[in-house]
Amino acid sequence: MRTATRLLLAMLLWAGLAAAAHAKPTSAAPPAPEVETAIADVLNSQERLPLPLERIRPALIAHYIRDQAPVYWVGTGRMTPFLQRLADAGDDGLNPADYPIDALIELRDTIDPADADSAALAELFFTAFYVNYATDLKIGRLTPQKVDPKNFRNRKTVDVLAIMTGLSKQNGPGEFLDMFESHNPQYQALKKMLSLYRAMTESVEWDQIAMGGDIKPGDSDARIPEIRDRLMLTGDHPGGGDQGDVYDSSTVLAVRSFQLRNGLEAKGLIGKQTVLALNVPPADRARQIMLNMERWRWMPEDLGDHHFIVNLASFELDEVLSDDIIDRMDVVVGAVATQTPEFSQGMRYVEINPTWTVPYSIATGEMLPKLRRNPSAYAAEFEVFMNGKLTSWGGINWNAYGKGNFPFTFRQKPGPKNALGKVKFMLPNPYNIYLHDTPAKDKFLATTRAFSHGCIRLSRPMDLAYHLVGDVAGWSKPKIDAAFAGGQTTRVSLPQQIPVHLIYATAFEGDGGSIEFRPDIYGRDRKLDAALSGKPSS
């Protein structure tokens, strides 16, 4: 068969139009040397190959022609296990529908022992989709910033030729694929939980619990037996105890456990939000877990032996050392209108008694209207700069300026009213995001803590300051005390950068190995789900 005819047949096959032209399924295969010659003919041809092959053609040429790699798939019995792995892609947090399983089965089953060309095409297509699957496991299916403009993680890359070379040394394709998965403990925990929720989807009826009035501990309500049963399914209720309509103490404890795991106010009151969370079916939770596995594929391979993770969805900061969480504190993150972005950056220094340079959007959107009414509204606490030079508040006609015509910069002096409080933690980045103290302590009383203009407010900033400036930078406690008491801005450089990872995890492993879920406050799950499904998102 001439090369052009062979490639035409491959394209027809991939379009699902050539099934009738093929021989009956056979387990026999042409001799390997003939297949290798046919592979070289295909790759050396002048015709454009089908897209799955064309996009990795240089690597295929290097692997099969330059490196003279042996035939891996044809006649070795390895195709069927790989096809099964594709069919079970849901177990890996991927979608089987994203892979041409039927076309690959057809390629396998229609290899003609008398035609090395059919075997060559099968070999090349199986290699191409093995690379595709390994890549999806390793770095995810999507480019993060194309999914959400607030995600500033660069898409990672893979070495396609290295995948092929590594595969050629394996007895079977399955275990090698496992090497491409993230080894992050959170990813691995999510994968285990995914298996449980997928099984629950197949085996458990998940009827909707009726909405109604709030249920307080000790109340009687006809929904209590159904709620109790649901809490047993979620793992929050151990079973046993009172089985009647009374909202008993054991069920109260189970409800509080469920509320904690789902980011709800954990007072034991069964209200609308608790019932809504109880009604989320296992299939939806499985999908939520899959979305979060995709995000972990975007993350750096090495988070750092000592690092911080700020989970924007759970409003928490974890300090991690050698895979152990050594500290955790509540945080306030950006409001829905001023969302905190996702990125990773090194913390370089701590600033005691910081000044606050007001962002342009706040200066023009919030401060300028007040200055038009009262030109000295901020004179006591702020310095004003015009075109970068310190100037006086007096004599400025604020009505003459507006967005697009605003040569001023405002800087708040250190002090008790400073928006950054007593200390800030700097991880220089293009998005002007950092961690800091705040005078607005009341915000930490809320369960959903999305209030800031984008930066991260810490609930225990002084603890972190004494830890980093003292334990890490080596300052004595009296020296730190004196720096705070002095009122002057003091920068303390850290001996080495500490990675800070801002993530958006709405499903994650909690304390004790339990699974925790959080509401999609920024709508990023919705956007990612739509992108993975090939649907537009609003």
Q: H/E element holding 502?
A: strand 490-503
pLDDT of 8 over the 60 cut: no
Q: How many CB atoms lie within 10 A of CB 195?
A: 14
Q: Which token pair is 245?
A: 């309509």
pLDDT at position 21 is 35
pLDDT of 354 over the 90 cut: yes
pLDDT grade for 4, boundaries at 50, 70 and 90: very low
Q: How many angstroms separate the CA atoms of 47 and 45, rounded?
A: 6
pLDDT at position 538 is 54
The predicted model scores a pTM of 0.91
Whole-number Cα distances in Å, 327 to 214, 306, 330: 35, 12, 11
pLDDT of 26 over the 70 cut: no
Where in the chain are all domains bearing CATH 2.40.440.10?
302-355+415-505
The residue with greater pLDDT, 131 or 10, is: 131
pLDDT at position 24 is 40
Q: Where are the alpha helices (DSSP H) in 144-262?
A: 144-147, 160-167, 173-178, 185-203, 224-233, 249-261
**DSSP of 430-462, one letter per residue?**
TT---EE--S-GGGGGSSS-EEESSSEEESSHH
What CATH number has the domain spanning 302-355+415-505?
Answer: 2.40.440.10
Q: How many angstroms separate the CA atoms of 235 and 244, rounded?
A: 20
- Among 39, 55, 50, which residue's Cα sits nearest to residue 13? 50
- Burial (CB count within 10 angstroms: exposed 0-12, middle 13-18, buried 19+), residue 365: exposed
pLDDT of 481 over the 90 cut: yes
Instruction: Report the pLDDT averaged over residues 363-381.
Output: 95
At 213-252, the pLDDT tens digits run 999 999 999 999 999 999 999 999 998 777 899 999 999 9
Q: How many angstroms separate the CA atoms of 280 and 264, rounded?
A: 14
- Among 169, 165, 164, which residue's Cα sits nearest to residue 130? 164
- Among 71, 500, 130, 517, which residue's Cα sits nearest to residue 317? 500
SS3 call for 278: helix
At 407-457, the pLDDT tens digits run 999 999 999 999 999 999 999 999 999 999 999 999 999 999 999 999 999
Can you list the pairs that 214-218 forms with residues at least 24 positions away whose Cβ atoms lie under 8 Å?
A: 214/269, 214/270, 214/271, 215/247, 215/269, 215/270, 215/271, 216/247, 216/269, 216/270, 217/247, 217/249, 217/252, 217/268, 218/246, 218/247
Top-level class of domain 207-280: mainly alpha
pLDDT at position 58 is 98
Whole-number Cα distances in Å, 504 to 271, 450, 514: 26, 13, 18
Whole-number Cα distances in Å, 5 to 14, 80, 105, 404, 456: 14, 27, 21, 63, 61
pLDDT of 390 over the 60 cut: yes
Where in the chain are all domains bearing CATH 1.10.101.10?
207-280
Percent of the chain having pLDDT more than 70? 94
pLDDT grade for 537, boundaries at 50, 70 and 90: low
